[in-house]
Amino acid sequence: MKKQLRKICAVTGSRAEYGLLKSLFRAIADDAALTLQIVVTGMHLSPEFGLTYKEILADGFQIDANVEMLLSGDSNVAVAKSTGLGVISFADAFDRLQPDLLLLPGDRFEIFSAAQAGLIMKIPIAHLFGGDTTEGAFDEAIRHSLTKMAHIHFVTNEESAARVRQLGEDPASVHVVGTPALDQIRSLNLMNREELAADLGFAFRKQNMIVTFHPVTLASQSSDDQFQALLDSLAELDDMGIIFTKPNSDPEGRKLIEILESFAENRNNVAVYGSLGYLRYLSALAVVDVVVGNSSSGLYEAPSFGIPTVNIGDRQKGRLQSTSVINSEPEKCAILNAIEKALATDCSATVNPYGDGHAIPRIVEAIKALDISRGLLAKKFHWTSDMSAD
């Protein structure tokens, strides 16, 4: 009897996740020993966030399940309710698809819902990007919770691996692979400046920046106050080309979008996009002079392009940083000073600390070697050398 192919069910809820994982999805789909299932949820299915599930279809993938879970509000209550709705809907999807392994990235509440359903349904979980720290967002707690629910861990660096082991995970289950984003940077044919300008309908200036600012879910200062400080600083730079990508669907996300659209309305040097798509986003990184905001892409991808990042506030606090990252308090003068410093800094020799661009084959081989059995589900707590049992 022919051996049944191992079904790998990957869940994605945002443009950023899919951008990181697209090449990994392709490698799994192309492997004769594996069958890829894709479940989309969250912002992918929302008109106000660009209906980015269409990018997945345009890339030639089949979507095996849509999990609608986002409520229209962006309050903490609405996000908490969305998380609960997601658990219910993921349970139905997984029951129908019967996957052998869940592939779950990162730290967002949509992925938290998928993990809860998978754990109870006794589906092994492979977790990507565990062990990082981001002290300014509740993503921190979600990420570490996902680590405890997962059975195999693909981390981006040795520091993160040490944190995963510190949480009591089996050292043999922790694989330092780097980020798949660098695989894509290495392999993609990027658009040049003229092609990108025509595709975006954007007139690049002598100097340009790309800006992404997401809600800060644990900060004492509100997200809109921090965002307003950023916008006040950018209002002083009317000679620069400024490309914004919209905030995500965390609490206060929709409020930030309203503020952003009002800011951009009468400024011809500013363009706002719900989603650039990964090719256009990476192509933009190759031609702009600086990345500004509080997105992880400023730490993950930007260093590979030899450009500086101005990282604002605490949302990424604790995450491994390259020498090209300049941190700034969320205050107008501090942000302007950081941008000025960034534009005067040569980052061409920057080394990206998140891998060597060969994460994807490491992940695929580890998945294929995994013994998916009941013994995998019954995890033991493993003491590390720096722990005490007392």
- pLDDT tens-digit readout, 138-152: 888 999 999 999 999
DSSP symbol at 2: P
List the chain residues with pLDDT less than 50.
1-3, 388-390
233 and 152 within one domain:
no
Tell me, yes or no, whether 287 and 327 share the same domain: yes
CATH number for the domain that contains residue 174: 3.40.50.2000
Residues 252 and 293 in one domain: yes
The reply to whether 184 falls in a domain is: no
Chain segment 270-309, per-residue pLDDT in tens: 999 988 888 899 999 999 999 999 999 999 999 999 999 9
Q: Is residue 139 part of a domain?
A: yes
Q: How far apart are CA 137 and CA 218, in angstroms?
A: 5
Q: Where are the alpha helices (DSSP H) in the chain?
A: 15-30, 53-58, 76-97, 109-120, 139-149, 158-166, 180-187, 193-200, 223-234, 253-264, 278-287, 297-300, 332-343, 359-369, 374-377
**Letter for the amino acid at 220?**
S
- Asked if residue 229 and residue 129 are part of one domain, the reply reads no
Asked whether the whole model's pTM tops 0.75, one would answer yes
Percent of the chain topping pLDDT 90:
75
Residues 281, 252 within the same domain: yes
170: domain range?
6-179+355-377
Q: Tell me how many domains the chain contains.
A: 2
Q: Are residues 367 and 307 in the same domain?
A: no
Instruction: Please report whether residue 349 resides in a domain.
Output: no
Do residues 244 and 336 both lie within one domain?
yes
Given this model, what pLDDT does residue 219 score?
64
**Cα–Cα nearest to 215, from 207, 203, 206, 227:** 227
Residue 186 belongs to some domain of the structure: no
Burial per residue of 290-312, b for 16 or more beta-carbon CB atoms within 10 angstroms, e otherwise = bbbbbbbbbbbbbbbbebbbbbb
Q: Is there a domain that residue 21 lies in?
A: yes
Co-location of 166 and 289 in the same domain: no
User: Is residue 157 assigned to a domain?
Assistant: yes
Q: Answer yes or no: do 160 and 232 share one domain.
A: no
Same domain, 277 and 254: yes
**Main-chain phi, psi angles of 188, to 5 degrees:** -75, 145
Q: Is residue 1, in this structure, part of any structural domain at all?
A: no
- Residue 119 DSSP SS3: helix
Tell whether 384 is covered by a domain: no
Q: Are residues 170 and 215 in the same domain?
A: no
